[in-house]
Structure 1
């Protein structure tokens, strides 16, 4: 039985105080440079960050943008609020599920998320919400880890996936590029420097 939003939310609430520490090594070695590259692609003034988590992207926010950050975990948002206040970051933080956004259609110039859709129970539903709230001509930027294209590695990821989901609520075998392509974006491209497992996806409405 696949975990639902409530199950995953409980897991993220549980690990929220330890989350930054749990990922510190991977953050320093790999994710930090990818986050910088991701946020360097942001266009427009009004930006929505989906799955803001503990605020790991705060250091990369464009200074002249109006940014709203959402997350469905109360405890992760609490960590983000503390970090926002400490770093004096200008961002509005709201409790919200990406599968049911409360924003009007065509609200944001850029919608952005990093390592989020591994944890969304219905990823296509969430991606269609990103499409809906993005302005015509706007962009959706995603940084995601995905299922390897190499059969042996993919088999191992599929085998380990139930354990990882049970521990932290994140799937390591999602095919997010295909999921984005299944949505009605006018164009979808993958950054040329993306690896086999980490993909920077750029979609245009």
Structure 2
């Protein structure tokens, strides 16, 4: 089931005031530890985070880096701006769609996204944009939930996907590792700590 960017943006705008509360349990049980692993792998002086959402990664930003963070949902970005002020985080926030980044090629040392490409209507287009703006030798690091390798669970995820997309605009059956491998990176590896449906992907340009 495919939905355009405007429709997904509207759904995230609607959820923005409640988003942290909705995901609080999963954040505490699972996602927080994965975010720590992701940001422990970040290197370089100029970092881009795509899909910043409400700013859930702010606590893990490296103190000595220049960080730019984008999101395509104005309401999610409002939440991030409030959190930025409250936590006094040094980050430049921009309203932008990952499918059409307004940055020059070879701009960033590392590009980061966490649980973003489930919601990008044209994921290959977005991934190619990450490849474009990453510097040669730089890394794109993605934390994503993907379709299971277990055929039974994968079948259930495929069955449920249309309902999940219609409710929140997120796909639960994406094969993001395969998509990244098709985007021209010199090296793509999946962190060995990854689980069946949560993958920490490191791609080198």
Same fold (TM over 0.5): yes
What is the alpha-carbon distance in structure 2 between the residues aligned to residue 147 and residue 182 of structure 1?
17
CA drift of 1:40 comes to: 0.3
In the TM superposition, residue 144 of structure 1 has moved relative to its aligned partner by 0.1
Aligned residue runs from structure 1 range 88-107, under 5 A = 88-107=88-107
Structure 2 distance, partners of 1:72, 1:163, is 22
2:61 corresponds to: 61
Q: Does 1:189 align with 2:189?
A: yes
Structure 2 residue 35 is matched with structure 1 residue 42:
no
In structure 2, the residue matched to 1:87 is 87
For structure 2, list consecutive stretches of 5 or more residues without a partner in the other structure.
none
Q: In 2, Cα distance between the equivalents of 1:29 and 1:71?
A: 25
Q: Secondary structure at the match of 1:63?
A: coil
Superposed displacement of residue 196, structure 1: 0.2
Distance in 2 (CA, whole Å) between partners of 1:144 and 1:4 is 20
CA distance in 2 between partners of 1:92 and 1:44 (Å): 16
TM-score, scaled relative to structure 1: 0.99
Give me the TM-score of the superposition, normalised by structure 2.
0.99
Runs (4 or more) in structure 1 with deviation over 2 Å come to: none
The whole-number CA distance in structure 1 between the counterparts of 2:43 and 2:27 is 25
State the match for 2:2 in structure 1. Answer: 2
Give the whole-Å Cα distance in 2 for the aligned partners of 1:167 and 1:82: 26
Report the Cα distance in structure 1 between the residues aligned to 2:134 and 2:93, rounded to whole angstroms.
18
Task: For residues 16-69 of structure 1, give each alpha carbon's deviation from its aligned partner in whole angstroms, at most 9, with x where no partner exists.
Answer: 000000000000000000000000000100000000000000000000000000
The equivalent of 2:172 in structure 1 is 172
Partner residue in 2 for 1:144: 144
Tell me the SS of whatever aligns to 1:89. Answer: coil
Instruction: Give the aligned length.
Output: 205
What displacement does 1:2 show? 1.5
Alignment partners' CA distance in 1, 2:141 and 2:2: 26
Q: Deviations over 1:122-160 (max 9, x none)?
A: 000000000000000000000000000000100000011
| Structure 1 unaligned residues grouped into runs of 5+ | none
Structure 1 residue 116: Cα displacement: 0.1
Secondary structure at the counterpart of residue 201 of structure 1:
strand
Secondary structure, counterpart of 1:70 in structure 2: strand
Offset of residue 183 of structure 1: 0.5
C-alpha separation in 2, matches of 1:111 and 1:2 = 26
Matches within 5 A, 1:25-36: 25-36=25-36
